[in-house]
Amino acid sequence: MQADILNVNHSIGVYGNVAQTQRSKTDYIGRFAPSPSGLLHLGSLVAAVGSYLQTKANVGKWLLRIEDLDPPREVAGATDAILRSLEAHGLHWDENVTYQSKRTEIYQEVLDRLLNSHHAYPCSCSRKEIAALANTGELGVIYPGTCRNGPTQPEREHLSYRLRTKNAFIAFDDIRLGRRSQHLHRDLGDFVIKRTDGYFAYQLAVVVDDSLQGITEIVRGEDLLSNTPRQIYLQIILGYPTPRYLHLPLVTNSQGKKLCKQHHAPALKNNKASENIVTALDFLGHTPPKFLSSAEPVELLDWATKNWKPEKLPLFATFKGKN
């Protein structure tokens, strides 16, 4: 069967698959969306700085969203610590902070809409049952569609909900990495948008929030690149405009693994904010002049905003963290 090819055009004046009047720079809205599963580290600072600079260079608004939809993984006090750390590093957000935990009713309304339109369905499969039947691809286990025509064990107390991927082929242009594509059904299968534990999945929540907040461009780490086709597919189904995407290079540890909370990345030291900002800028290919090496974070960010050029971003990461 031939795939339904869905190309997402990001040329000037075209957002998603819907032609619109050209947006002015003042319409630019970016965001940084950390999860409170731990404290900020160098890797998350690079993402925050890259997003902030791309937004401010486009004279836009930089919004902050706390993605607190997974209570079992959250660390007590992490949200307040993240806010304090951003402020210490001169990364001041526009408008009020948004919390995903306060939007569950909205997510449920969207899920109901997808269920009523038969784009989503309940699934009774456990991970063990799926693993026993499924093939494995580059993105992990490929869901075999066991419950597409109805849950095989509807009597189970806890069900997940999946989005039908049909035969869609998603293609889009990343500002740094160029053309990227994914055949959703072949490479991934129908994916979860609400988990068996009752929490909404990242894929659904992020798409809904980006639309509600009017995000025009998403700047984030390259580790989230493979999520983008799923999110674009959801945007198309829901009739949302598709933002532009810029995926930044990843900071890795001494073993070559992504610097992250799961790999015990050391938390940022707020009393070394200027040093941290210089390190992040250097990693992003925007090394400040020596006379600014000891400047305050705000002054460093002001220089970087005036000199920000996405084409200077390295194609491959060149810095490795200590841990």
Is residue 17 one of the residues assigned to a domain? no
Q: What is the pLDDT of residue 66?
A: 98
Separation of alpha carbons 233 and 242, rounded Å: 9
Number of domains in the chain: 1
Residue 294 is encoded by which pair of tokens?
């000891």
**How does pLDDT run along the chain (323 residues), one tens digit per residue?**
445 555 554 322 222 332 222 334 449 999 999 999 999 999 999 999 999 999 999 999 999 999 999 999 999 999 999 999 999 999 999 999 999 999 999 999 999 999 999 999 999 999 999 988 888 888 889 999 999 999 999 999 899 999 999 888 999 999 999 999 999 999 999 999 999 999 999 999 999 999 999 999 999 999 999 999 999 999 999 999 999 999 999 987 666 666 565 655 788 999 999 999 999 999 999 999 999 988 999 999 999 999 999 999 998 765 544 44
Separation of alpha carbons 56 and 306, rounded Å: 9
Separation of alpha carbons 160 and 200, rounded Å: 9
Is residue 199 one of the residues assigned to a domain? yes
Q: What is the pLDDT of residue 260?
A: 60
Given a contact cutoff of 8 angstroms between Cβ atoms, the answer to whether 151 and 161 are in contact is: no
Given a contact cutoff of 8 angstroms between Cβ atoms, the answer to whether 9 and 17 are in contact is: yes
- Assign 3-state DSSP to the chain and report helix, strand, coil percentages, each to 5: 40, 20, 40
Is residue 44 one of the residues assigned to a domain? yes
Is residue 323 one of the residues assigned to a domain? no
Strands 160-163 and 191-194: antiparallel
Is residue 61 one of the residues assigned to a domain? yes
Is residue 123 one of the residues assigned to a domain? yes
Separation of alpha carbons 275 and 304, rounded Å: 14
Q: Which of 176, 233, 224 is nearest to 16 (CA)?
A: 233
Q: Which residues contact 112 (CB under 8 A, 6 or more apart)?
A: none
Separation of alpha carbons 89 and 299, rounded Å: 11
Residue 226 vs residues 9, 170, 221, 222, 301: alpha-carbon distances, Å: 18, 11, 11, 8, 29
Query: pTM for this structure?
Result: 0.89
231: domain range? 4-9+26-310
The secondary structure of residue 25, as a DSSP letter, is G
Q: What is the pLDDT of residue 319?
A: 52
Given a contact cutoff of 8 angstroms between Cβ atoms, the answer to whether 121 and 147 are in contact is: yes
Is residue 206 one of the residues assigned to a domain? yes
CATH number where 198 lies: 3.40.50.620
Is residue 320 one of the residues assigned to a domain? no
Q: What is the pLDDT of residue 221?
A: 96
